[in-house]
Each structure stands twice: as C-alpha cells, then as structure tokens.
Amino acid sequence: MNVQTLDAFQVIADPSRRQMMQLLSKDSMTINALAENFDMSRPAVSKHIKIMYNAGFISIKDIGRERYCTLKQDGFNELQNWINYFDKFWLTKLKKLEVLLNDKANKK
C-alpha cells in the first residue's frame, strides 16, 4: 500500500483540512458528520482524513459501524517545534540588538 506522507505544513496548507481540524477541536466526529460540513464528495473528505491521519493530526476509532475522528497532538508538535526554533532565533537577534543599543546609549 502506498502511504502518502506529507510534512505538517503541507497538511495544514489546505483550507479544508484546517477547517476539519477546527471542527474536530470541538469534539470527535464521524467521517460522515465531518463530510456534511463540506461541499465535496465523501471520497474527497476521506482522502483529507487519510492525509491528516498519516501525518499524526488525527486518530480514527471504529465504534460500531461508525469511524470517529479525534484530534491528536503528534502533527501539531512538529509545527510547534518548528515555530519554537524560530522564536528562539528571533529572541536571540532581538537580545543582541538590545545589547548593541544599550552599549550605544551608555557611550553618549
């Protein structure tokens, strides 16, 4: 089976997937319940769900005949780690600028 692997940013690049995650942030939903919120075919919704599942953004649990989607933290951790890296980068740059400006101000 060919599993499509996308990085976290490719996953959240799609507005429909972002909207699905917003809906799932309120509660777990069946695939059919999710599909009712979109003007796309059920197979298209399933494809988006598969992408989010493979990237660690959701888990899927079979309960009876229904498949419930629930948000999962793994995919979001990848995004957060990337953001944290650049937060540190910019804080370091700003700190250096602060030191430079303070040195200039103290020399006057």
**pLDDT given for residue 1 in this prediction:** 46
Q: Is the dihedral of CA 94, 78, 6, 24 positive or negative?
A: negative
Two structure tokens written together for 49: 């769900």
Closest CA to 52 of 75, 22, 35: 75
Two structure tokens written together for 47: 């494809």
What CA–CA distances, in Å, run from 26 to 32, 51, 73, 78? 16, 20, 14, 21
16-73 pLDDT, tens per residue? 999 999 999 999 999 999 999 999 999 999 999 999 999 999 999 999 999 999 999 9
The secondary structure element, H or E, covering residue 30 is strand 29-30
Predicted structure pTM score: 0.78
**pLDDT given for residue 4 in this prediction:** 52
